[in-house]
Structure 1
Amino acid sequence: MELVIAKTAGFCMGVDMALHKLDNAVAAPPQDVTIYTLGPIIHNPQVLARYKEQGVLQTDGTKPLKTGDVVVIRAHGIPRRIQLELEAQNVTIVDATCPKVKKAQILIQRQAEQNKHLLLFGERDHPEVQGLVSYAPRHTVFETLEELCAHGIDSAETYFLAAQTTQDRESFNAVREYLIKHVDADMTILDTICMATKDRQEEVRELSHKVQAMVIVGGKNSGNTRRLAQIAQESGIFAVHVETAEELPLEELAAFERIGLTAGASTPSWIIEDVAQTLRMALPDKV
């Protein structure tokens, strides 16, 4: 059997930048202060565990911090209200928001300031989404086209459309076409889906037609990783989403001659390599 590793597997630019900023803070911390991340810096439990071992704590921004404490804003960004509250405290803020998310926040704010209602395609409980909608006083979050249709559109409102940066582009295109056709042909459409997300999704679609099984590696709470797994599963082949090599269903995978391997944008290279090595060692005659 053959193991095919996706070229786009692993860290994206935004995650790499966020961890670089956190690493710099950890490497040279001011005396007698605590380093916090505003929520998990990225959605990967193994990475978070390593930072916890180095003394990095998490805060949700609701409790006052000590003067001089360092707060690193997560890659997903944070709600505008929490940002303002942090700025009012005498703490050191390190903004590690992904530039793509930051751009989406700015674009949404500009449209909202024109008295428009945001239609946001995304996971309503995801921290990035909670941050994005904080820039639009009037907003509706929907997770599927069917949910949007059931919600209904107010003819008195002027809407604009945006998406969580890690959403599935094909699904977003279907939403866009529906709104243009049935609501407003001139509606403002913000293309806020990250190109790195698009590239990963397209490669999974292509790879799924060339292999018999797919292994998707990354945090179970990672939205972009879950979507990669969903795309692979929808292709009709055997697909499994694991966080670590220990979760691999080796007996089931042994039945396949060609296995594809990819990983979410918040999955470090050492976990990807561990999964690949485990497959090679467990299936020496297969992989």
Structure 2
Amino acid sequence: MEVILAETAGFCMGVDLALRRLNKLVASADSRPIYILGPIIHNPQVLKRYADKGVIMVDTPDQVPPEAWVVIRAHGITRQVQADLKARNVKIKDATCPRVKKAQLLIGRHTADGRELLLYGEADHPEVAGLVSYAGNGFFVFGSKEELDEYGLDPDKRYVLAAQTTQDKVLFKHVIGKLSGNDQVDVIVLETICDATKLRQAEAKQLADDVDFMVVVGGFNSGNTRRLAQVVSDKGTPCRHVETVADLDLGELARFKRIGVTAGASTPRMVIDEVLEVLESL
């Protein structure tokens, strides 16, 4: 069996930066407790490793005591939560991905004049909650062209179209094309999908054409990992999304001659290597 690993598999720049900032803080936190407001990244193995080091994950600002350190996760937080944290007199370490921060600021700037935000993304994702909090005049989150059609756009309104940074670039282009062809609607388009996401998805599609089966490694709660599995499946290549090596069905995989492996932006190299080792032993 031949096993081929995608070049872009594993941590992206934003995730790597967030974890390096947290690691530095853990090493020099001057005895202050360290809190994370929500998971710093969407990977259970990484979260457990930091919990074992004493890092405490909480859900709301009021769970962080005054004078403690609080780390803002790679997905970012809402403007309201940011204000709550500052009011509580805590020490803030901002580990928001620079791409997410840029998208937040772009949305704030382009909706300040009264435009409504149309955001392509997952309504329940923490990054999306942060992005829409910067919209100055209302917003609508949609996950498909059909949802946007059902919403209906008002010719008397002005809009800003943006996307969650880890969304599918191809599908977003279809949405842009649809709105660009509507002369009745005033829409400004913001290019907020991360280049790393686009490259990772494009590479996964190309690799899917060259193998008999694809394994996508990453947390089941990771949106960008789920989308990787989806773009591969859309190519017609059999695919399995696994969180760890324990999720592999070795009996199923043993019959394939060429297996491709890619991984989400929040998947540690150690987890990827464990999957590769087992596949290469078949």
Judge conservation of contact 1:15–1:266 (CA < 8 Å) in 2. yes
The 1:247/1:230 distance shift into structure 2, 3 A limit, reads same
Task: Quote the offset at 1:233 in angstroms.
Answer: 0.9
Q: C-alpha deviations, 1:208-260, integer Å up to 9, x for none?
A: 10001000000011111000000111111110000000100111111111000
Q: What's the counterpart of residue 276 of structure 1?
A: 276
Distance 2:232 2:240 in 1: 9
Judge conservation of contact 1:121–1:141 (CA < 8 Å) in 2. yes
Distance 1:260 1:150 in 2: 38
Distance 1:182 1:250 in 2: 50
Task: Quote the offset at 1:183 in angstroms.
Answer: 5.3
Of 97-106 and 155-164, the range deviating more from structure 2: 155-164
Q: What's the counterpart of residue 223 of structure 1?
A: 223
**Residue correspondence of structure 1 range 39-54 to structure 2 within 5 A:** 39-54=38-53
Task: Quote the offset at 1:68 in angstroms.
Answer: 1.6
Task: Quote the offset at 1:30 in angstroms.
Answer: 2.0
Q: What's the counterpart of residue 232 of structure 1?
A: 232
Q: What's the counterpart of residue 256 of structure 1?
A: 256
Identity level (%): 54
Judge conservation of contact 1:61–1:86 (CA < 8 Å) in 2. no
Task: Quote the offset at 1:187 in angstroms.
Answer: 2.1
Judge conservation of contact 2:76–2:101 (CA < 8 Å) in 1. yes
Instruction: Report the 3-state secondary structure (helix = DSSP H, G, I; strand = E; otherwise coil) of the residue aligned with 2:201.
Output: helix
Judge conservation of contact 2:163–2:192 (CA < 8 Å) in 1. yes
Q: C-alpha deviations, 1:163-198, integer Å up to 9, x for none?
A: 000000000000000011125576210000000000
**Residue correspondence of structure 1 range 136-215 to structure 2 within 5 A:** 136-137=135-136, 138-182=138-182, 187-215=187-215
One-letter code of the match for 2:39? P
One-letter code of the match for 1:199? L
Instruction: Report the 3-state secondary structure (helix = DSSP H, G, I; strand = E; otherwise coil) of the residue aligned with 1:182.
Output: coil
Task: Quote the offset at 1:159 in angstroms.
Answer: 0.5
Judge conservation of contact 2:37–2:61 (CA < 8 Å) in 1. no
One-letter code of the match for 2:176? R
One-letter code of the match for 1:130? A
* CA root-mean-square deviation: 1.1
One-letter code of the match for 1:228? L
Distance 1:195 1:114 in 2: 28
The 1:185/1:155 distance shift into structure 2, 3 A limit, reads closer
Distance 2:196 2:63 in 1: 36
Distance 2:75 2:63 in 1: 22
Instruction: Report the 3-state secondary structure (helix = DSSP H, G, I; strand = E; otherwise coil) of the residue aligned with 2:60.
Output: coil
Task: Quote the offset at 1:114 in angstroms.
Answer: 1.2
TM-score, length of structure 1 as denominator length: 0.96
Distance 2:185 2:177 in 1: 9
Judge conservation of contact 2:116–2:160 (CA < 8 Å) in 1. yes
Distance 1:256 1:231 in 2: 20
Q: What's the counterpart of residue 108 of structure 1?
A: 107
Instruction: Report the 3-state secondary structure (helix = DSSP H, G, I; strand = E; otherwise coil) of the residue aligned with 1:170.
Output: helix
Instruction: Report the 3-state secondary structure (helix = DSSP H, G, I; strand = E; otherwise coil) of the residue aligned with 2:170.
Output: helix
Instruction: Report the 3-state secondary structure (helix = DSSP H, G, I; strand = E; otherwise coil) of the residue aligned with 2:92.
Output: strand
Task: Quote the offset at 1:29 in angstroms.
Answer: 1.7
Provide structure 1 residue ranges, at least 5 long, that are not aligned to the other structure: none
Q: C-alpha deviations, 1:21-75, integer Å up to 9, x for none?
A: 10011111222x3101110000000100100000111122342532220000000
Q: C-alpha deviations, 1:150-169, integer Å up to 9, x for none?
A: 11112221001000000000
The 1:4/1:184 distance shift into structure 2, 3 A limit, reads farther
Provide structure 2 residue ranges, at least 5 long, that are not aligned to the other structure: none
Does 2:260 align with 1:247?
no
**Residue correspondence of structure 1 range 46-85 to structure 2 within 5 A:** 46-85=45-84
Distance 1:62 1:68 in 2: 13
Distance 1:216 1:247 in 2: 11
One-letter code of the match for 2:205? R
Task: Quote the offset at 1:124 in angstroms.
Answer: 0.3
TM-score, length of structure 2 as denominator length: 0.97
Instruction: Report the 3-state secondary structure (helix = DSSP H, G, I; strand = E; otherwise coil) of the residue aligned with 1:214.
Output: strand
Distance 2:186 2:67 in 1: 49
